Amino acid sequence: MLRGRRVVLGVGGGIAAYKAAEVCRRLVDAGALVSPVLTASALRFVGATTFSALAGERTRTSLWDSPEVSPHTALGQRADLVVVAPATARLLAAYAIGLADDLLVSTLLATRAPVVLCPAMHTEMWEQPAVQSNLATLRGRGVHVVGPDAGYLAGGDTGPGRLAEPGEIVTACASVLALQGGGDLAGLRVLVTAGGTREPFDAVRFLGNRSSGKQGHAVAAEAAARGADVTLITTADRESPVRVQRIDVDTAAEMEQALAERSDGADVVVMAAAVADFRPKEAAPTKLRKADGVPEVVLEPTPDLLAALAARRPPGQTLVGFAAEHGDPRPGAVEKLRRKGVDLVVGNDVSAPEAGFGHDTNTVVIVGSGGMQLNVGPVDKRVVARAVLDAVVDHRSRR
Ligand code: CTP
């Protein structure tokens, strides 16, 4: 989606500006023609030369030092997309009220291209009603917002306010461009499940698993970036990928209901969720008390959602399952492919280091009919997501 597209990369004055260099490099790697615009404060954190070298285009820093007579309109009119990373509290405020006091805000005001803002600031600033209200105003005008994540901040603090990961920002840019058409999944409706289900046994306690939802969210983000119309059914407390319709659920029964309502219309269903195999037969309506003794939790099996989807799938629908295995995932993945009657199974060894539940990276084997087997990783879960969708495209082209 980014190949040959003109992207203005605006960089605001925050410590996360150093990560914008990585965003720049990844945009260029994806084939975008990047015009870096740094604010005066950004220049206190990072150098214009860094961005010029990465982008292969001179970094612009002011309304007044450019060879163009009117750099903001030239940049704004030419752009296919403007992304700002980091978007500071000042930038959000200036853009929200239309205060064109520097080249970056002037460019934002002079463009009709879609805008992606990636806020980053200290938690106290991020949580200020003024900042949130500016962001709500901008969202209301159709601006896309990515992040911030929670994590380590400058000065040793932790909390929400960290710039989203560069890979996530670039995927979001591709998703937004996909809105304008194109992408190899354009026109396909993709339904993805993510996260581990939580099965209650009283009003506050549940049986769950360690699935973080990262892999399923990555599949949803990549599918949107490639032009698909994506619905994500998730249990995970994670950011929604850009341009994805999200449905939050908790239990296997809620996921079953959400799937029942939407799976018929889907061209592709990717069941990345770790659905509980057993659930408490009964859940106490109140919190169980210690004084009442140790509860005896009787379990019952949950329905196999994926197998049920396979049994009633509409013609042409592609079904992808996951197989969480201990040790070599190949035999289990191949067995599930057959037993569940699906098209592809992504097997992973959840006991392997840096793979499976909770990690940013994964190592998987994708198995399909006709003995197809593809090893992927260890790589970022976003790259695994890409490989899964490539396998889907390949499978659909062979039908
Ligand atoms: N799955 C499902 N419904 C369930 C359990 C699992 O739809 N009740 C789906 C998962 O989303 C995943 C696939 O089935 O795509 C495989 O899940 P997994 O837990 O690895 O397999 P199980 O069917 O539970 O088999 P086993 O317990 O033998 O590993």
DSSP, residue by residue, 23-63? HHHHHHHTT-EEEEEE-TTHHHHS-HHHHHHHHTSPPB--S
167-196: burial string, b at 16+ Cβ within 10 Å, e else:
bbbbbbbbbbbbeeeebebeebbbbbbbbb
Residue 336 Cα to ligand 1 midpoint, Å, equals 8
- pLDDT class for 282, splitting at 50, 70, 90? very high
Per-residue pLDDT at 319: 98
pLDDT tens column, 314-353: 999 999 999 999 999 999 999 999 999 999 999 999 888 8
Q: Which atom of ligand 1 has the smallest separation from the CA of 309?
A: 7
Catalytic annotation present for 134: no
CB-ligand 1 contact for 279 (6 Å cutoff): no
Structure tokens at 354: 């840096």
User: Which residues, including other chains, have CB under 8 Å from residue 338's CB and lie 6 or more apart?
Assistant: none
CB-ligand 1 contact for 321 (6 Å cutoff): yes
pLDDT tens column, 365-379: 999 988 899 999 888
- pLDDT class for 262, splitting at 50, 70, 90? very high
CB-ligand 1 contact for 81 (6 Å cutoff): no
pLDDT tens column, 21-45: 999 999 999 999 999 999 999 999 9
Residue 67 reports pLDDT greater than 80:
no
Per-residue pLDDT at 158: 84
CB-ligand 1 contact for 275 (6 Å cutoff): yes
Per-residue pLDDT at 181: 74
| Phi, psi for 21 (deg, rounded to 5) | -60, -40
Q: Of 9-13, 84-88, 377-381, which gets the smallest average pLDDT?
A: 377-381
Q: Which atom of ligand 1 has the smallest separation from the CA of 305?
A: 7
Q: Report the distance separating Cα 98 and Cα 360, nearest Å.
A: 38
Q: Where are the beta strands (DSSP E) in 283-328?
A: 299-301, 318-325
Please choose from 304, 344, 345, 350 the residue to mutate so as to test ligand 1's pocket, defined by most ligand atoms within 8 A of CB: 304
Among residues 134, 209, 348, 362, which one is catalytic? 209
> In whole numbers, what is the pLDDT of the chain averaged over residues?
94
327 forms bridges with which residues in the sheet?
Answer: none
Q: Which atom of ligand 1 has the smallest separation from the CA of 306?
A: 7
Q: What is the mean pLDDT of residues 280-286?
A: 95
CB-ligand 1 contact for 306 (6 Å cutoff): yes
User: Which residues, including other chains, have CB under 8 Å from residue 358's CB and lie 6 or more apart?
Assistant: 210, 211, 212, 214
Please choose from 192, 207, 305, 344 the residue to mutate so as to test ligand 1's pocket, defined by most ligand atoms within 8 A of CB: 305
User: Which residues, including other chains, have CB under 8 Å from residue 32's CB and lie 6 or more apart?
Assistant: 2, 3, 4, 5, 6, 7, 173
Residue 21 Cα to ligand 1 midpoint, Å, equals 41
- Percent with pLDDT over 90 in the chain: 84
pLDDT tens column, 114-163: 999 999 999 999 999 999 999 999 999 999 999 999 888 887 788 889 99
Structure-token match 């996909």, residue found = 178
- Protein fold of 6-178: Rossmann fold (3.40.50)
Query: Which of 91, 86, 96 lies closest to 169 in space, CA to CA?
Result: 86
- pLDDT class for 1, splitting at 50, 70, 90? confident
Please choose from 336, 342, 351 the residue to mutate so as to test ligand 1's pocket, defined by most ligand atoms within 8 A of CB: 336
Q: Which atom of ligand 1 has the smallest separation from the CA of 339?
A: 23
| Phi, psi for 300 (deg, rounded to 5) | -130, 155
Displacement of CA 69 from its chain's centroid (Å): 39
Largest CA distance in the chain: 79
Residue 182 reports pLDDT greater than 80:
no
Residue 224 reports pLDDT greater than 90:
yes
Per-residue pLDDT at 373: 94
- pLDDT class for 358, splitting at 50, 70, 90? confident
Per-residue pLDDT at 23: 98
- pLDDT class for 359, splitting at 50, 70, 90? confident
Burial (CB count within 10 angstroms: exposed 0-12, middle 13-18, buried 19+), residue 388: buried
Q: Of 131-145, 179-193, 208-222, 289-303, which gets the smallest average pLDDT?
A: 179-193
Residue nearest to atom 9 of ligand 1 (CA): 306
CB-ligand 1 contact for 192 (6 Å cutoff): no
Residue 207 Cα to ligand 1 midpoint, Å, equals 16
pTM: 0.82
Q: What is the mean pLDDT of residues 8-13?
A: 98
Can you list the pairs that 121-124 forms with residues at least 24 positions away whose Cβ atoms lie under 8 Å? 121/14, 121/86, 121/88, 121/89, 121/148, 121/161, 122/153, 122/154, 122/155, 122/157, 122/159, 122/161, 123/153, 123/157, 123/159, 123/160, 123/161
Residue nearest to atom 24 of ligand 1 (CA): 277
Q: Three-state SS for 122? A: coil
Q: Report the distance separating Cα 147 and Cα 213, nearest Å.
A: 16
Displacement of CA 264 from its chain's centroid (Å): 24
- Protein fold of 184-397: Rossmann fold (3.40.50)
**Structural domain boundaries of the chain?**
6-178, 184-397
Per-residue pLDDT at 55: 96
Q: Which atom of ligand 1 has the smallest separation from the CA of 308?
A: 7
Alpha helices by DSSP H, listed for the chain, are: 17-29, 42-45, 48-55, 71-78, 89-97, 103-110, 123-126, 129-140, 166-178, 214-225, 252-262, 305-311, 330-340, 381-398
User: Which residues, including other chains, have CB under 8 Å from residue 369's CB and lie 6 or more apart?
Assistant: 337, 343
